[in-house]
A and B are shown apart, each in its own frame.
Chain A
């Protein structure tokens, strides 16, 4: 009955299909992208720093060195190799107003910032995806109600809304995390909704329905995996923004509270010393910038890897 497979090995038979999923192909393109390579390099470095912070930091980040070492508060960087007198204690980035080693604080700050970035956007992705998927698939009045609520949230400048949420919840790092997550939910809800709305019109959805798949199964198991690439792009780009927002909230004293080593807080507490002790704002600022840059480069790289045509356009 059925056509017999030819006895001679055809090209197709030799081909290996194991690693040809779209996600795999995307990642392969991603690794060839210069932007993404730089982003991944920086990010990999930051992750390593965060993991090995205790080994890398010469001092306890929260410990004041008053009475431990003879050093003035807000003393500048002192690196022996670069000609700092050997009798002075070595502090690569100087010490802050409470005589804590700035370098150790920056290193530990990496942990806080990465945690903020991943946890806020993680929460936003989970809730945004569920809300957007249901909204896009159900359509009609369900969609209308959900999207109007999202519109209301989006109507506020996100930073002001975050401040407002913190005013209600109270200050502190945890509440700042919730605030940033809430502010980001509509972004993902809209994104997933529009993906689902276009995906649900495609033939394979009708085909799935004709084979007896239930609506929930179609939405979450058949449609959503197709929306993952766009989600990854948006999430990566948003993590940078979230870190920046958290730093800004902390700078204003609404987020992470002293003595926690958080870059925004460090900037905030020493902002009046910007002319007398520039190292105390310079290093945290650089740290924030490098981290956000890494995520943005990676996000751009992802976007180009997902859609090679777009990348071609950008080049020309």
Chain B
């Protein structure tokens, strides 16, 4: 894990990405100023509960946000090139060959009227001039590589004849067909049962080690992140609230929300009557209140009796080397002294 740190130039550099949805009820700020970098060959985890903007972030990177959604601001630099400046036709060429994506529902992500072989072959045909025979051979090879038994015959199968796990393997094969630089995996294991989940994670781990592809892994499952990711960003209500290397973040979660997420995981061998939960719900992203978006659910705010939380929004500050957090517990402001000063001193020292 430590060998793949963000020391070189990032493969993907997302700056101040804002994607808003213009609904009849008002403007929904689904992604509101997200910054992060992904290094080559890194697995970057994006965690958060449903509706926090993870999926919209990933669709924005691919520029697949449909109306009423719109990317209103920001830059998505893939190897220095801003994807948001590209024409739709240029973007079509980028998708599949440089960035590709796998989805939550593998079975419905495959076209029901074509065989899976045809669907993989098509990916080659879209982007390359390749003979039918070669494409088919490569498709079978890919299926073998992602662990589909008897790939020659299975290439003739229709999606409805596959299990969920096999369908996800096929999706992975399709996404990796052209050896993209970046793979976005949007909850790749959520729809699968536990044993299949483990197999798919094994496969992804295996592919991470054997290919040059960097992965953005989107999930709400911290266990998956702990197993696969090199670096993690925690999203809440359209913003990144904490970001750091996986070990650092799991060892010492800074943001109250991250702490809450960790606390809600059942631990094997630990007897608890009830799991800890974060009270309340994700705020509506239309007509947001000023201040920190987590303020209404935040125990630490009550504990430390902070007023500023409901008035001014904190910034994402670098707290430790490579460990960023967006919280008034750690940030100074005019008339506000962060209660966790010991940590804040550390930040000044840097």
A residues with CB within 8 A of B: 1-3, 5-6, 10, 12-13, 15, 17-18, 20-23, 202-204, 206-214, 217, 222, 225-226, 228
Docked Cα-Cα span, A202 to B108, in Å, equals 7
Which residues on B sit within 8 Å (CB–CB) of A222? 111
Knowing that A203-B109, A206-B109, A207-B101 touch, tell me 10 more A-B residue pairs with CB under 8 angstroms: A2-B203, A3-B149, A5-B149, A13-B150, A20-B158, A22-B112, A22-B160, A210-B96, A211-B123, A213-B96
Residue of B nearest to A226 (CB): B113
Which residues on B sit within 8 Å (CB–CB) of A6? 149
Q: Name B64's contact: one of A10, A202, A209 (CB within 8 Å).
A: A209
Q: Are A204 and B111 in contact (CB under 8 A)?
A: yes
Docked Cα-Cα span, A5 to B108, in Å, equals 25
Q: Are A211 and B174 in contact (CB under 8 A)?
A: yes
Q: Name A210's contact: one of B101, B111, B147, B153 (CB within 8 Å).
A: B101
Q: Which of B81-104 contact A (CB under 8 A)?
A: 89, 92-97, 100-101, 103
Q: Are B96 and A211 in contact (CB under 8 A)?
A: yes
Q: Are B174 and A212 in contact (CB under 8 A)?
A: no
Q: Are A2 and B144 in contact (CB under 8 A)?
A: yes
Q: Does B5 contact A (CB under 8 A)?
A: no
Q: Name A20's contact: one of B96, B103, B161 (CB within 8 Å).
A: B161
**Minimum C-beta distance from A127 to chain B (A):** 23
Q: Are A212 and B92 in contact (CB under 8 A)?
A: yes
Whether A12 touches B64, Cβ cut-off 8 Å, given contacts A204-B111, A212-B93, is no
Q: Are A17 and B157 in contact (CB under 8 A)?
A: yes
Docked Cα-Cα span, A212 to B175, in Å, equals 10
Q: Does B146 contact A (CB under 8 A)?
A: yes
B residues with CB within 8 A of A: 62, 64, 89, 92-97, 100-101, 103, 105, 108-115, 122-123, 126-127, 144-147, 149-150, 153-154, 156-158, 160-161, 171, 174-175, 199, 203, 206, 210
Instruction: Name the 10 nearest CB pairs between A and B, nearest first.
Output: A212-B96, A5-B149, A3-B147, A211-B96, A212-B95, A17-B156, A210-B101, A207-B109, A203-B108, A17-B157
Q: Are B96 and A2 in contact (CB under 8 A)?
A: no
**Minimum C-beta distance from A253 to chain B (A):** 46
Docked Cα-Cα span, A208 to B127, in Å, equals 13
Q: Are A226 and B147 in contact (CB under 8 A)?
A: no
Q: Name A13's contact: one of B94, B127, B149, B175 (CB within 8 Å).
A: B149
Q: Are A2 and B126 in contact (CB under 8 A)?
A: no
Q: Are B126 and A217 in contact (CB under 8 A)?
A: yes
Q: Are B113 and A23 in contact (CB under 8 A)?
A: yes
Which residues on A sit within 8 Å (CB–CB) of B161? 15, 17, 20
Residue of A nearest to B105 (CB): A203
Q: Are B112 and A214 in contact (CB under 8 A)?
A: no
Residue of A nearest to B106 (CB): A203
Q: Are B113 and A22 in contact (CB under 8 A)?
A: yes
Q: Are B210 and A1 in contact (CB under 8 A)?
A: yes
**Minimum C-beta distance from B9 to chain A (A):** 25
Q: Name B153's contact: one of A17, A21, A213 (CB within 8 Å).
A: A17
Residue of A nearest to B95 (CB): A212
Docked Cα-Cα span, A12 to B109, in Å, equals 22
Whether A206 touches B103, Cβ cut-off 8 Å, given contacts A17-B115, A212-B93, is yes
Whether A20 touches B127, Cβ cut-off 8 Å, given contacts A13-B149, A209-B64, A212-B96, is no
Docked Cα-Cα span, A213 to B125, in Å, equals 10
Which residues on A sit within 8 Å (CB–CB) of B95? 209-212
Docked Cα-Cα span, A210 to B178, in Å, equals 13
Docked Cα-Cα span, A193 to B96, in Å, equals 28
Q: Name B100's contact: one of A15, A23, A210 (CB within 8 Å).
A: A210
Docked Cα-Cα span, A181 to B190, in Å, equals 49
Q: Name B127's contact: one of A3, A209, A212 (CB within 8 Å).
A: A212
Which residues on B sit within 8 Å (CB–CB) of A217? 126
Docked Cα-Cα span, A23 to B110, in Å, equals 17
